[in-house]
Amino acid sequence: MKAITRKPVVRQFELVEKLKRYNPNTDEDLVNKAYVFCMKVHGQQLRESGDPYFYHPLEVANILADMRLDHYYIITALLHDTIEDTLTTYAELESLFGSEIAKLVDGVTKLSQLELQSSSTPQAENFRKLFLAMSNDLRVLLVKLADRVHNMRTLYFIKDPERRKRIAQETLEIYAPLASRIGITKFKDELQNYAFEHLHPDDHTNVMEQLANMPQTQQLIENINTDITKVLENGALKVQVFGREKTPYSIWKKIQKRNITFEQLSDLMAFRIIVTNLQECYQALGLIHSSYIMVPGRFKDYISTPKANGYQSLHTTLIGPYNQKIEIQIRTQEMHEVCEFGVAAHWHYKQKIKDREAVNFHEGTQYSWVRNLLEILEHADNPDEFLEHTKLEMFQDQVFCFTPKGEVIALPKSASVLDFAYAIHGEVGNRAVSAKVNGKQVPLRTEIYNGDQIEIATSRQQQPSPSWEKYVITGKAKAQIRKFIRTKQRDQFLELGRTLLVKALQKEGYGFDEKVLTQNIKEGQHNNAEDILISIGEGTFSVKEVVKYFKPQTIPTVDEEVIKVKPQKIAENFAKIPIKGLIPGMAIHYAGCCHPVLGDNIIGVVNTGKGVTIHTNDCHQLALIPSENGFLDLTWNEANNEDLFVGRLKIIFINKQGALASITSAISKCGADINNLKIINRSIDFWEIITDIGVHDKDQLQNIQASLRTLNLVSQVDRQ
């Protein structure tokens, strides 16, 4: 277990003094009262680290005090576990601290209760409930994020490795993106790095060792800081310049995303320039661009078009002093605090307003994502779909485009014109027939770029088609399209099922009566008669079984009295297959030329008498296949994720003792097995091998690639 240096817990007078330094109007008596109450009710409770339990709420309060939040947050943090872990009641908190604080503590308690269910409840359902709980007041989420930050700092004290991994995964997939969405970069970075350390310990160690082997980096940062400062001061600007290495997690993600090794990373450093006012941001940009070589295509203006979470800054990438590629961010002090502390900073800059009601977390463009997710929740078919679409909304970089009236629409990078239509309104998306981008007619699938002005033409006769889902990447658009297609298909299956049942009943001499179906659903798998008809239309329930409901069955008793008996309904079992769009039982084969795995974009090639061969969409062999074979647009049935797929990698590595063992060990630690390994090229300096690896999905294969790239001895890893 990793050794952890414990710092002294914050003391009562230190916390109060910290609050009074940035907010003289702090209710000191109420904070002291909450501090004493927290220590009293948690009593002799201990954490898994062996520390007194009340250390935890004190540290959570201290984290929020570092963000200069008011005493409502601090008191909520001090009391956030009292209802959950002690005999304290809501009524008691309301009596002692007021209704507002009691409601906030109750909100955090509900989120904590969801967290405890995670081991037995699907993550998607937990997240749906979490979002509904926090959407009423984002202050609840802010306290919960601070609680998660402190828990991640002490995660090593949890002895169960599976529990540690589950908490880390949940942190990376849900809490870090939520921190990013409310603009708290400080929380996001810390949560990502702790999660990375627990989920990929070997990769984390490799990245940290690589950084440690670059002792000149810190000196280089100081030298570049000095150089940039001189350039700006010579231009009569008074600035602050801060340089830093990028975080271990962001470095690992770059290695994974760009398909490169650590040595090939050229932009490991980032610099922030803090100026006095908005005008000086652009003056500093001009001085920087006139003094250094700008990397084309890497300038972004998030001041004139802020991100959805309120983030503002100028971004540019340069070939700076000492010929190093460096990222530069230019912002004012207020912009910097919004970047670091998000909604907390928004409140801080509004706290001079006497009317606290003026601080409304549900107003403003930076919180429009909350409304978007509520809309997705309305249209999603189930919690898993909601989680999938929500991740699409939270994880991607953004581009900014404009309506004909000049309204700014923020969308994920690589979004299409159709995504734009759905971003305006669901009905605009459903009825979209064509579009103009910058005055030019374009297809709906056209990718949009920063600064595009887009005009959508609609028609009442237009309807979404299943193929539209391939052209959109936003969760909102996917949810709307899927809902429409589901509704349309449901109507079609309902009509087909009714027709099939009526015909089957006519052959037996019976008439259709919906009441008979309704009487027979109580013991079965359907909710109503309509569901039975739809299942018949889909082919997932036998029409013969339903016909039995209409046949009177009798059993003579001892007294020869006749008793009517309802027939038992027997649902047919259909074998699950990993591909949607194919008939159950159809023979499928995975192409040996491209080795598709779960998560790849795929296409099916029909081979008469032999079934369907599955290829990746970009497989080079597709161009050689005659068109008369027939091609099928397919998607994966991700609910059936128990199969193993063969992923093929080509690895080039340095020829030295133990190299092959290190590679096989890294693959094994990612939870995968090597099925086959072939040496295709061998020299004095390098080996080149092809290896087939059994994986569950594309994500696992990408993690293996990223893990291999963190090894010093690996030169190149490519998928075959």
Q: Is residue 208 part of a domain?
A: no
State mean pLDDT over 402-425: 84
Q: Is residue 104 part of a domain?
A: yes
Residue 634 has pLDDT above 90, yes or no: no
Average pLDDT taken over every residue of the chain? 78
Residue 580 has pLDDT above 80, yes or no: no
Residue 424 has pLDDT above 70, yes or no: yes
Q: Is residue 246 part of a domain?
A: yes
Whichever domain contains 715, its CATH number is 3.30.70.260
Question: Do residues 93 and 58 share a domain?
Answer: yes
Residue 212 has pLDDT above 70, yes or no: yes
**More reliable by pLDDT, 338 or 356:** 338
CA dihedral 169, 175, 180, 185 (to 10 degrees): -90
**Lowest mean pLDDT segment, chosen from 174-188, 221-235, 561-575:** 561-575
Residue 395 has pLDDT above 50, yes or no: no
pLDDT of residue 531: 78
pLDDT of residue 283: 92
Whichever domain contains 285, its CATH number is 3.30.460.10
pLDDT of residue 562: 37
Q: Is residue 244 part of a domain?
A: yes
Beta strands in 413-463 (DSSP E): 432-437, 440-442, 454-458
For 127-166, the DSSP string reads: HHHHHHHHTT-HHHHHHHHHHHHHHHHTGGG---HHHHHH
pLDDT of residue 121: 42
Question: Do residues 150 and 176 share a domain?
Answer: yes
CA pseudo-torsion sign 569, 573, 578, 579 = negative
State mean pLDDT over 614-627: 81
What three-state secondary structure class fits 52?
strand
pLDDT of residue 197: 93
Name the strand (E) or helix (H) holding 281. helix 278-291
**More reliable by pLDDT, 541 or 331:** 331
Residue 535's domain comprises 489-565
Q: Please, which contacts does 482-486 make with residues 24 or more away whose CB atoms are closer than 8 Å?
A: 482/379, 482/381, 482/385, 483/379, 483/380, 483/381, 484/430, 486/381
Residue 574 has pLDDT above 60, yes or no: no
Which of the four pLDDT bands, split at 50, 70 and 90, describes residue 349? very low
What three-state secondary structure class fits 242?
strand
Whichever domain contains 400, its CATH number is 3.10.20.30
Asked if 108 and 99 count as a contact pair (C-beta separation under 8 A), the reply is: no
Alpha-carbon distance of 124 to 126, in angstroms, equals 5
State mean pLDDT over 606-614: 71
Q: Domains in the chain: how many in total?
A: 6
pLDDT of residue 34: 92
At 408, give phi and psi (nearest 5°). Answer: -85, 130
Question: Do residues 82 and 181 share a domain?
Answer: yes
Domain boundary among 312, 334, 350: 350
Which of 217-221, 365-369, 537-541, 617-621 has maximum average pLDDT? 617-621
**Lowest mean pLDDT segment, chosen from 275-279, 333-337, 369-373:** 369-373
Residue 303 has pLDDT above 70, yes or no: yes
**More reliable by pLDDT, 94 or 260:** 94
**More reliable by pLDDT, 587 or 414:** 414
Question: Do residues 160 and 232 share a domain?
Answer: no
What residues act catalytically? Answer: 84-85
Asked if 309 and 346 count as a contact pair (C-beta separation under 8 A), the reply is: no
342: left (phi over 0), alpha (psi -120 to 50) or beta: left
Question: Do residues 25 and 159 share a domain?
Answer: yes
**Lowest mean pLDDT segment, chosen from 181-195, 356-370, 388-402, 644-658:** 356-370
Q: Is residue 4 part of a domain?
A: no
Q: Is residue 362 part of a domain?
A: no
Q: Name the residue type at position 410.
A: A
Q: Name the residue type at position 123.
A: Q
Q: Is residue 121 part of a domain?
A: yes
DSSP state, residue 639: T
Q: Which of 471, 470, 719, 473 is nearest to 619 (CA)?
A: 719
Alpha-carbon distance of 154 to 5, in angstroms, equals 10
Angle at 439 between CA 429 and CA 424, to 5 degrees: 25
Angle at 306 between CA 303 and CA 308, to 5 degrees: 165
pLDDT of residue 630: 63
Asked if 90 and 108 count as a contact pair (C-beta separation under 8 A), the reply is: no
Q: What is the pLDDT of residues 142-159, one digit of tens each?
A: 888 899 999 999 998 998
Alpha-carbon distance of 573 to 88, in angstroms, equals 51
Q: In DSSP terms, which residues pair with 613 in a beta bridge?
A: 589, 605
Residue 113 has pLDDT above 80, yes or no: no
Question: Do residues 467 and 493 share a domain?
Answer: no
State mean pLDDT over 595-612: 79
Name the strand (E) or helix (H) holding 41. helix 28-42
Asked if 75 and 101 count as a contact pair (C-beta separation under 8 A), the reply is: yes
